[in-house]
Amino acid sequence: MSRVGTVGARLYRGEVSYDFIGHRKLWYVVSLVLIAVSVVSLLVRGLTLGIEFRGGAEFRVAAPSASEESVRNTVSDVVGGEIVVQRVGNSTIRAQTETLTSDELEEVQTALAERFDVSSDEVSTQFIGPSWGEDISRKALRALVFFLIGIVIFLSLYFEWKMALAAMIALLHDLLITAGLYSLVGFEVTPATVIGFLTILGYSLYDTVVVFDKVRENTAGLSGGSRMTYSGAVNLAVNQTLVRSINTSIIALLPIGAILFAGVVLLGAGPLKDLALALFIGVAVGAYSSVFIAPAVLAGFKEREPAMQALAKRVAARQGKAATPSGSPGASRKAAGVPADAELDEATDETPAEPVGAASGAAAARPRPGDRRPASRPRPQQRKGGRNRSGGKKKR
């Protein structure tokens, strides 16, 4: 465990880092493949809607000898799919199935009449409408649209609109892949599934907000300096929150996984497995996108800004001055105006070196109370900047 803790520390200081932003093309490809699979699956296999959405057929048996279990078995011998059995009043059992052809309808009716020794007339049949009607879906969709508009406004105010946009892209990414993988598994869509999807909506955004909060912290006042590119700062933020992301995902997936196991293996039917499957896929994809997709998309947006491109040039120039031979080709490429992608590897590969030196500088400075940052708000930025400056001074 101590090793894990140390890895956390090294991630935090940037000594160890995975270059999420630099390798973004790889992860974009991974996501595109997942999305392609999802879209194909949605188009080919589609989502099978349960009787709550489509309606179906209903049988009522008025026989004192009938039990819920025996009716269920009798019906399931004739037709497959979801069967909802319920006792109504004292002696009537109601069974609801998916929509049946008139032949099937008659077959089930006869089977029930024979099984419980009543005349066919005493087994009534009728078509039932969806209990989750179109109006529920329509209103839920309307609510979703309002929510998304509201959340874009909130994120734009709390962060900035580019972060809001990146978060939205990640959200759509999560929902699409979750729906696709769900259709691939082939479970029926029940109200529990929809509830699972809606939970993911909140969870995916929640996860992205946590990562972006760190990004904002790391990038405050960034454009004034020449220490780190925007992409570099984003990458550091992702690495710093990586341990949190992993822990949170594991912690969220443990109860979901347990319920999924119970739903699929122990019960085999019912809403538990639908809900848990949607949640399991969604939480996993949400965690993945908050680490690999949302920050990369954000960095892509931001690196197009002139201020950030200028920053990238300054950083490149500075690193060129620092005269690591490997730095110069990158610098020249940057000077030539090659956009972010290519130089990121170098920019971020450089970062580990920096804080190490900085740490010692800061350590030397630490005992002096005056050196402590005055306010905590833009701290890491100032602190790191401060460290760097002191480190830089020492170097010079």
Residues 191-230 that bind another protein (CB under 8 A): 191-192, 194-195, 198-199, 201-203, 205-206, 209-210, 213-214, 217
Q: Does 292 bind another protein (CB under 8 A)?
A: no
Q: Which of 8, 225, 320, 352 binds another protein (CB under 8 A)?
A: 8
Chain residues 11-50 in contact with another protein, contact rule CB under 8 A: 12-13
Which residue, 265 or 323, is less far from another protein as judged by CB?
A: 265
Bridge partners for 58 per DSSP: 96, 126
Q: Which helix (H) or strand (E) holds 84?
A: strand 84-88
- 67-72 long-range Cβ contacts below 8 angstroms, 24+ apart: 67/93, 68/93, 70/115, 70/116, 71/95, 71/112
Q: What gap in Å lies between CA 170 and CA 212, rounded to an integer?
A: 12
Q: Which stretch binds another protein (CB under 8 A): 32-40, 112-120, 231-239, 248-256?
A: 248-256
8 Å CB contact between 52 and 190: yes
Which residue, 28 or 261, is less far from another protein as judged by CB?
A: 261
Q: Which of 134, 224, 326, 332 binds another protein (CB under 8 A)?
A: 134
Angle of helix 353-365 relative to helix 379-395, nearest 10 degrees?
A: 90
Q: Which of 26, 30, 36, 143 binds another protein (CB under 8 A)?
A: 143
Q: Which stretch binds another protein (CB under 8 A): 29-37, 120-128, 229-237, 331-339?
A: 120-128
Q: Which stretch binds another protein (CB under 8 A): 17-25, 180-188, 270-278, 341-349?
A: 270-278
Site for another protein (CB under 8 A): how many residues?
95
Q: Determine the straight-line distance between the first and last CA of the chain, rounded to whole angstroms.
A: 39
φ/ψ of residue 324, rounded to 5: -75, 125
Query: What is the nearest approach in angstroms of another protein to the Cβ of residue 47?
Result: 17
Which residue, 321 or 372, is less far from another protein as judged by CB?
A: 372
8 Å CB contact between 320 and 328: yes
Q: What gap in Å lies between CA 203 and CA 131, rounded to an integer?
A: 27
Site string for another protein, 308-347 (x = CB under 8 A): ----------------------------------------
Site string for another protein, 349-388 (x = CB under 8 A): ----------x--xx--xx-------xxx-x---x-----
8 Å CB contact between 39 and 176: yes
Which residue, 229 or 290, is less far from another protein as judged by CB?
A: 290
Query: What is the nearest approach in angstroms of another protein to the Cβ of residue 56?
Result: 10
Q: Which of 14, 63, 94, 354 binds another protein (CB under 8 A)?
A: 94
Which residue, 252 or 340, is less far from another protein as judged by CB?
A: 252
Chain residues 64-83 in contact with another protein, contact rule CB under 8 A: 68
Q: What is the 3-state secondary structure (H, E, C) of 252-301?
A: HHHHHHHHHHHHHHHHCCCHHHHHHHHHHHHHHHHHHHHHHHHHHHHHHH
Q: Which stretch binds another protein (CB under 8 A): 8-16, 291-299, 332-340, 346-354?
A: 8-16
Helix H segments across the chain?
A: 2-13, 24-44, 51-54, 68-78, 102-115, 134-158, 161-185, 191-219, 230-240, 242-261, 271-288, 294-302, 306-321, 327-335, 340-350, 353-365, 379-395
Q: Which of 118, 169, 220, 262 binds another protein (CB under 8 A)?
A: 262
Which residue, 103 or 135, is less far from another protein as judged by CB?
A: 135
Q: Which of 2, 44, 102, 370 binds another protein (CB under 8 A)?
A: 2
Q: Which stretch binds another protein (CB under 8 A): 42-50, 265-273, 295-303, 342-350?
A: 265-273
φ/ψ of residue 391, rounded to 5: -60, -45
Q: What gap in Å lies between CA 4 and CA 203, rounded to an integer?
A: 26
Q: In the numeric block, which tokens belong to residue 296? A: 């990369």
Which residue, 25 or 394, is less far from another protein as judged by CB?
A: 394
Beta-carbon contacts of 54 under 8 Å, excluding residues fewer than 6 positions away, are 98, 99, 130
Q: Which of 37, 58, 79, 156 binds another protein (CB under 8 A)?
A: 58
Neighbours of 17 (CB within 10 A): 22
Query: What is the nearest approach in angstroms of another protein to the Cβ of residue 6?
Result: 4
Query: What is the nearest approach in angstroms of another protein to the Cβ of residue 264?
Result: 11
